[in-house]
Structure 1
Amino acid sequence: MDSFSDSGELYLIRYQFYTNQHEKVTNYNLEDFSPENQLKVLEYIIRSTIELNLDASNLIENGRSIFPDDLNVFQVLQAWNDLHDFGTDDSTYFEDLKEAKFELQAILTTFYLVKFEKDLNQAIIFLNDYLENLNISTKYNEIEIYLILIQLNLIRGNYSNVKKIFMQLNQFPEFVKDNIIYQIIESWVKSIQNGNENLNNCFYFYDEILNNSFNDDDIKGKIHNLIILFILNLQLKHYPESQEILKQIENIKLDYEQLSKENDNNNSIKFKDDELDNLLANQITLDRLINFGNESEKLLEELKKINGEHELIKDEASKNELFDSIVTKYQTTAV
């Protein structure tokens, strides 16, 4: 039986992992799963721990002991954990890697290229090269690669590439389409298509996830999904609803920060500024739409501080250069 099907034992943990319910994922025990699925469960637990900005070193070390035949998996996880924890990787694991040999290696190396090298184009090339070397049956079970590839192309505005990749996915067997990863990909593709019906379908998809799945401990995941709903509301031109979601996000952050201070808990999850860069970018859009851009300069400065390589910053710089070139071309010289 497919472990990822509705009846498979990995269905729920996989659903929770890919909908950013990382607190829930970290609470699973390996013993609750059959031996053949325990490595994948531990991978999800470790990656969720890192997503929560917590150190996963002990989990990784235990994994090496439990799965001595899969040390390559824990080597890449340790390198990723070190980068997240310390901002550096003494082993230069990702820097030295030129070609991925397995899925997790391809995924985390791509994240490295995006987050630390700020090179989206190279990340896309790296993933495409990995996919070209996979046989078709392996591709059916490694569609997280497609999820990331589509996301990167969306960020770069390569919408024609997004449609081509999605067309490839649509030729896969039906069981692939039952996968939560496929459903997320489908929601993203619909979000760039014309028509309110597509946008509404995307909105209700994430609204259902948020309302039916999350609990009070899923702080980061809740904010992540609220940001998606905020962006979809902007696309739907639901500006009052967008403002309401911004208030929800701010209140959740404030409540969490206050609770952390009261508990003085050093092991609680942490927020990093650069995890909120897309929220700031879309706040700027909303400000320009409803507030004549009165707060945009301040918000742009905040965005530059946390992610000077954000696509909006690059777009602003490009527009300014174009404006300056036009002014220079047509300015008159006093006689």
Structure 2
Amino acid sequence: MDPFSTEGELMNLQNYFYQGQYQEAIDFDTAGLSPENKLPARVLSLRAQIALGQAEDVIADVQGEKDVELVAVGALAELAAGNESKALKIAEKLSTESGDNGAVQVLAGIVLQAAGKSEEALALLSNHQGNLEAVALIVQIHLEQNRTDLAIKEVSAARSWAQDSLLVNLAESWVGMRVGGERYQQGFYVFEELAQAPSTSSTQSLISQAVAEIHLGRLDEAEAALQQALSKEPKNAEAIANSLVLNIIAGKDAKQLTSELQSVAPNHHFLVDLQEKSELFDKAATKYSAKVTA
């Protein structure tokens, strides 16, 4: 059985991780776990460390490990540390030699997708046997490819055998945010429930709720959710980026938030995209420059 789709002993730890409660995942007491669940629990804890910016510590922790799950964690840590070529080399080797392993599918899949190898990532992930995290990653990749139709198909298939899963609910909400219309409200309900429940509230839940609120035109509510997120994590790049977008929509000055985002995450996709658009605008503008004749 794939440990990454196992319910029961690992459910609380998995939920902490999937909801972005990374410190809770790290602090989770694993003393009572059965021997077969010790390794997947360690993998989740290490991934939580990576998410909190501790990639170098994780690289040191898993150095010399033989378990393919931990080697895969090392690849993800190398990616987070900026060593993309090394991460990709490890991920490609793992996908060839251990592509039937659930942890390898997900972690190597993340590395492959980050390197722009979407088809290779999808091919690896398609080997899953009831691995809901693999399903969620497939949905994310399809959305990045603007293949909403395939994302919808993937969620519908997963819903038939994992109806009450948190990951399926989240994946369905991601798709809903892309489809729009009444699906914005459906996504909002999922994110709001996660953000308001004391046992599941996290910065990521609040950010997701705020994004739904923005799409629904409820800017004051979105601002309140983002302020709450920033009170939890003042340097959270996604909270800053979405606050920046909200300010622009609301007609407010966004210079300070832009500066904060540049300081916290200079390579954030929002800033990269903004720079590319600015350069394209400047290039187009040169074609229409006024010509002064003597």
Partners in 1 of 2:246 and 2:82 — Cα distance? 36
Partners in 2 of 1:11 and 1:324 — Cα distance? 51
1:104 aligns with 2:103: yes
1:179 aligns with 2:165: yes
Partners in 1 of 2:86 and 2:151 — Cα distance? 31
The aligned amino acid for 2:148 is: V
Which residue pairs with 2:45 in the alignment? Answer: 45
Q: Select the residue among 259, 266, 290 that pairs with 2:250.
A: 290
Unmatched tracts of structure 1, length 5 or more: 65-69, 216-220, 255-272
Unmatched tracts of structure 2, length 5 or more: none
Partners in 1 of 2:164 and 2:41 — Cα distance? 19
Q: Select the residue among 220, 227, 234 that pairs with 1:247.
A: 227
How many residues were matched structurally?
A: 286
Which residue pairs with 1:145 in the alignment? Answer: 134
What is the CA-CA distance between 1:79 and the residue it aligns to?
4.8
Q: Secondary structure at the match of 1:334?
A: coil
1:312 aligns with 2:270: yes
The aligned amino acid for 1:184 is: L
Partners in 1 of 2:205 and 2:11 — Cα distance? 20
Identity %: 21
What is the CA-CA distance between 1:189 and the residue it aligns to?
0.6
The aligned amino acid for 2:270 is: L
Q: Select the residue among 108, 115, 125 that pairs with 2:119.
A: 125
The aligned amino acid for 1:38 is: K
What is the CA-CA distance between 1:12 and the residue it aligns to?
2.9
Partners in 2 of 1:88 and 1:192 — Cα distance? 30
Q: Secondary structure at the match of 1:98?
A: helix
What is the CA-CA distance between 1:204 and the residue it aligns to?
1.9
Distance verdict in 2 for CA 1:42–1:95, change over 3 Å: same
1:163 aligns with 2:162: no
What is the CA-CA distance between 1:235 and the residue it aligns to?
1.0
Question: RMSD between aligned alpha carbons?
Answer: 3.6
1:233 aligns with 2:185: no
Partners in 1 of 2:174 and 2:160 — Cα distance? 19
Greater length-normalized contact order (CA 8 Å, ≥ 6 residues apart)? 1
Partners in 2 of 1:88 and 1:311 — Cα distance? 15
